Amino acid sequence: MAAASEARWFTVLGWVATATAMAMYVSYIPQIGNNLQGLKGDWLQPLVAAVNCTLWVMYGLMKKPKRDWPIAAANAPGIVFGLATFATAV
């Protein structure tokens, strides 16, 4: 594979992975709804996911010499939805 073609492939792969990761964290919405209706779910997994996502966002934004935007974008919703799921589960 030529260098330009390989770089393009990895860019596309990164953004497709970003979209699927975002979908994974948005899938917390039904659990948040259940938690608010009194059907409490587990609190530990979403809390650990939020911490993990925070670390990955930090990595993506602080990476030198070039920020890793797909990593940061993919994990940002995990912070919000992970903490929301945790907060409604406790």
Which residue would you say has higher pLDDT here, 32 or 10? 32
Q: Could you tell me if residue 22 is inside a domain?
A: no
pLDDT value of residue 14: 86
pLDDT value of residue 2: 82
Rounded to an integer, what distance in angstroms lies between the CA atom of residue 69 and that of residue 40? Answer: 34
- Helix runs in the chain, H state only: 3-26, 29-36, 44-62, 69-89
Which residue would you say has higher pLDDT here, 11 or 46? 46
Residues in the chain: 90
How confident is the model over 33-71, as pLDDT tens digits? 999 999 999 999 999 999 999 999 999 999 999 999 989
Q: Could you tell me if residue 81 is inside a domain?
A: yes
Residue ranges making up the domain that contains 83: 42-90
The mean pLDDT value for 78-87 works out to: 97
The mean pLDDT value for 6-17 works out to: 90
Give residue 76's pLDDT band: very low, low, confident or very high (50, 70, 90): very high
Q: Could you tell me if residue 79 is inside a domain?
A: yes
pLDDT value of residue 46: 96
Q: Could you tell me if residue 14 is inside a domain?
A: no
The count of domains in the chain is 1
